[in-house]
Chain A
């Protein structure tokens, strides 16, 4: 698996779009640092951009990479390698290159700013960590979508809908439910609904760390009040791990059943 990953990574880091992705975060972070040197404010702005963008890019790159790699997958499948090795290697190369672009783009400007000596270092690392987790989850979903749809237009359409659902529609449904059932105790419902959306989980974890969960309104307040900070982290990380493991095992299973 590591060998396939190595070559998939070598291909991806030279991809023009991957370089643009890195430069985007580099310029964004530099611009934000230029506008304000207040790190917590910068983190909030970056959080908003990253939480919207990483699922979208993960999905788009994932679907595009899978479709572009189909003939390469066939070449690998003709070698004495198991399907699991091939798909985990290819997926790993994609996810790792996206995470590296993001990490380098955000962290390099902050490094020059002197983030290593700043008390906000951990918050920045958690932000980047969450961005990477979202990248891992959404590029996995992209692989599953692409494997399920041989029709490329359908694959791209589904990946766009997935992004729209988790980034926008889900929050709308969430608010609607809270408003409909406002006369009932909603703590458990809030926690359950939050767990079902990795973007919300990542947002809450960052805001819990920033200790401004009031900004997140009801959800953040509920999580902080009922779970407490440490338990809140543990809960969120566990759910995010589940969000990674289930699609990963499904993707592996799917790869073993597909015709190429």
Chain B
């Protein structure tokens, strides 16, 4: 469904992606992990066409996305930061997105799921950070699209909303959707993901199943496996480790 070949992306002097090759052809949940600045968000943004690249190719459903926008019909995207026009209400935002993007929506389900009923007619500027994130999720997930790209979906959410979100994602996985998630919360990734892509310094360090990652790192949890990779590969962490010893 998504194929990435030889993807490079630089911001001025900073190389964010250095030759990424990936292929997601099966349904399921893929956790895109990596330390801060490893290129996770850039990779997501490249797939969505928010960030433009000169080197490499990305195909979504066999369409080369370079210069295209129609392919985004297949994708629901949750941005990392929830920020909207402050003077509009969630209700107006939903109407706006529905107006801009034709298709069947199920916003009522998410209003109920995230208990947003009382917030629907308040200005966005009057909502709390957590409720803004819930509106963010609602706007992203209300379309029944085959690909979901979620950037830090749990940030700012209360525990109940996280539980509801997890159960929703599990259901969507069963329906055969492809879900790409970036997160720093390892327990969230461990519980949901079938497949892990670990990015380090703009390159793919690991691309495989959750079990094979843990086996490779000889760890019994994802958190420990990731910590082992980071300690072995990030010079600053190596120093901390040796000084601690």
The interface of chain A, by Cβ under 8 A from chain B, is 3-4, 6-8, 10-12, 14-15, 68-72, 74-83, 257-260
Contact = CB atoms under 8 A, between A and B. Distances in A.
A71 B99 contact: no
A78 B69 contact: no
B100 A4 contact: yes
Nearest to A78: B77
Secondary structure at the A interface, as helix, strand, loop or mixed, is helix
B100 A76 contact: yes
Closest 6 CB pairs of A and B: A71-B83, A11-B85, A78-B77, A14-B87, A80-B72, A259-B51
Given A71-B83, A80-B73, A259-B50, A10 B88 contact: yes
Nearest to B11: A259
B85 A72 contact: yes
Nearest to A77: B50
A70 B77 CA distance: 16
Contacts, number: 74
A11 B52 contact: no
Contacts of A74: 50, 79
Contacts of A14: 87
Contact of A260 (B45, B71, B82): B45
Given A75-B79, A78-B48, A7 B69 contact: no
Contacts of B71: 80
Nearest to B136: A75
Given A10-B92, A80-B73, 9 more contacts: A4-B100, A7-B96, A11-B88, A72-B83, A77-B50, A79-B100, A79-B101, A80-B71, A82-B69
Nearest to A73: B50
Contact of B50 (A10, A78, A257): A78
Contact of B99 (A3, A82, A259): A3
A154 to B, nearest CB: 15
Q: Which of A10, A11, A80 has the most CB of B within 10 A?
A: A80
A75 B139 contact: yes
A75 B83 CA distance: 9
